């Protein structure tokens, strides 16, 4: 190092110690200050804006517990079930590790759905936040893949037959289906090779989620947060610094969510486990009832409600793919459903249909449930492809308040 260089370093050290020295070379400290201390946020965010922070913390918990589970897990058809049993019964606190990871997956997906519907309700996907929305959807797909692959790993009856149903669904895709199924399973039925592939897929995608979250949050900090009114802050008094205002609000949200998490793990540990999955995988015995984890039930309901196998797959996959088009399907100048009476009713119906489809998935789309399922599928797609573009026409004459402060003065 040159004399001048070492002199600068010594100066920085004298002025602010090691952190200042580090910041002069890699601005982690000032960057953190800029993005998480002084960063300006709209003053009117409600509790639904806690869910991003909740998801981030949950993701870190899932990755940490996942690493400890992985080092004790055997990814072979012969050893997987027994290794999970050993984690439960022999590994010190192994039961806790597994309960946090499996219960965490359920709560993670629940928080993800709240986060997504929050975005839809308040129009957070609209210009200039399209990239933020699209990266969110990539995260949704990745989390679903990771959750599905994780469900297969204990290699119980539900794991095995769940993988079998998914393989058959992939097989129904014309032309590429059978080849794709073969790549995924490494054979004609789930087995040793499939389990190994699912294990690797689970780990790689889960850590990949962390990388995409960084891009997601970078996109958020570039555009700034939307808010329940959907009106951009115009004056400094319509914003507050992130710290202490939203650090404390996020901390409160995290504590409340943590209480719910603890209640699930310690008082209802069986809620997220299927009884059938405590039996080792048996390719010769199909369980009476094969159904996925609750968070996939709405998509399973769609799969069953459509008469053809491929049609069902198209509906289930299309229901997520259509979300990628939402920023361009909704041309209304108004963001938040708070000022969009027609859209508000449509959103209510959308949530209702999503829940109903979950029930249809659970009741196997038979009899009356089949009718409910078909109506719900039709509404789901009509919502995005017909009603959303139509709502824009009904809203051209809506007049928004003159800013966040003016709206809050009028108790809006």
Chain contacts with ligand HEM (rule: CB under 6 A): 49, 51-53, 55-56, 59, 112, 115-116, 119, 122, 124-125, 129, 132-133, 136-137, 139-140, 143, 209, 213, 216-217, 220, 225-226
- Is 196 labelled as part of a ligand binding site? no
| CA torsion, ordered 290, 296, 300, 302, to nearest 10 deg | 170
CB of 356 to ligand HEM, least distance (A): 21
Is 285 annotated to bind ligand? Answer: no
Given the complex with ligand HEM, which of 54 and 195 has the nearer CB atom? 54
Nearer to ligand HEM (CB atom), residue 77 or residue 116? 116
Residue 78: CB minimum distance to ligand HEM, A:
34
How many whole angstroms separate alpha carbon 86 and alpha carbon 95? 9
Q: Which is nearer to ligand HEM, 59 or 337 (CB)?
A: 59
Phi-psi region of 267 (alpha: psi -120 to 50; beta: other; left: phi over 0): alpha
Least spacing, CB of residue 216 vs ligand HEM, in Å = 5
Q: Write out the two tokens for 409.
A: 């003065």
User: In the bound complex, what is the minimum distance in angstroms from residue 6's beta carbon to ligand HEM?
Assistant: 40
Any idea what DSSP says for residue 238? G
Nearer to ligand HEM, 140 or 385 (CB): 140
Sign of CA dihedral 92, 93, 98, 101: negative
Closest CA to 406 of 263, 187, 281, 233: 233
Residue 65 Cβ vs ligand HEM, minimum distance, rounded to whole Å: 16
| Residues 87, 96: Cα–Cα separation, whole Å | 9
Q: Is 216 annotated as a binding residue?
A: yes
Beta carbons within 10 angstroms of residue 196's beta carbon: 15
Whichever of 49 and 81 has its CB closer to ligand HEM, that residue is: 49
Residue 52, CB-side half-sphere exposure with 13 Å CA sphere: 20
Rounded to the nearest whole angstrom, what is the least distance from the CB of residue 89 to ligand HEM in the complex?
32
Give 200-232 as a DSSP string.
HHHHHHHHHHHHHHHHHHHHHHHH----TT---
Feature table: binding site for heme b: 101, 115, 202, 216
Which residues participate in the annotated binding site? 101, 115, 202, 216, 221
């Amino acid at each position: 190092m040159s004399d001048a260089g070492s002199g600068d370093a010594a100066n920085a050290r004298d002025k602010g110690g090691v952190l200042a020295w580090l910041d002069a070379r890699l601005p982690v400290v000032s960057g953190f200050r800029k993005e998480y201390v002084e960063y300006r946020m709209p003053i009117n965010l409600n509790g639904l804006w806690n869910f991003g922070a909740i998801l981030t913390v949950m993701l870190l918990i899932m990755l940490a517990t996942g690493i400890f589970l992985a080092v004790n897990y055997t990814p072979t058809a012969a050893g997987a079930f027994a290794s999970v049993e050993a984690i439960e019964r022999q590994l010190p606190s192994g039961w806790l590790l597994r309960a946090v990871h499996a219960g965490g997956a359920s709560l993670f997906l629940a928080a993800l759905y709240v986060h997504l519907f929050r975005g839809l309700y308040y129009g957070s996907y609209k210009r200039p936040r399209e990239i933020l929305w699209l990266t969110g959807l990539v995260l949704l797909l990745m989390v679903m893949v990771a959750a599905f692959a994780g469900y297969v790993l204990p290699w119980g009856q539900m794991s095995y037959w769940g993988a079998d149903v998914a393989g058959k669904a992939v097989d129904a895709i014309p032309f590429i289906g059978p080849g794709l199924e073969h790549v995924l399973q490494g054979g004609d039925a789930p087995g040793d090779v499939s389990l190994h592939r699912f294990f690797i897929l689970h780990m790689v995608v889960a850590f990949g989620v962390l990388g995409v979250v960084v891009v997601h949050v970078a996109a958020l900090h570039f555009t700034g947060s939307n808010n329940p009114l959907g009106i951009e802050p115009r004056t400094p008094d319509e914003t507050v610094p992130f710290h202490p205002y939203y650090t404390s609000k996020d901390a409160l949200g995290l504590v409340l969510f943590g209480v719910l998490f603890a209640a699930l793990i310690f008082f209802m540990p069986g809620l997220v486990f299927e009884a059938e999955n405590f039996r080792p995988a048996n390719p010769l015995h199909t369980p009476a009832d094969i159904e996925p984890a609750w968070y996939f039930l709405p998509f399973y309901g769609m799969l069953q409600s459509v008469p053809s196998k491929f049609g069902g797959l198209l509906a289930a996959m299309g229901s997520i793919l259509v979300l990628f088009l939402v920023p361009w399907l909704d041309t209304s100048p108004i963001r938040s459903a708070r000022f969009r009476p027609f859209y508000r009713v449509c959103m209510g119906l959308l949530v209702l249909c999503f829940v109903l489809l979950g029930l249809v998935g659970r009741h196997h789309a038979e009899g009356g449930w089949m009718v409910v399922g078909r109506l719900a599928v039709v509404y789901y797609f009509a919502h995005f492809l017909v009603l959303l573009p139509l709502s824009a026409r009904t809203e051209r004459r809506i007049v928004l308040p003159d800013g966040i402060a003016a709206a809050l003065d009028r108790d809006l």
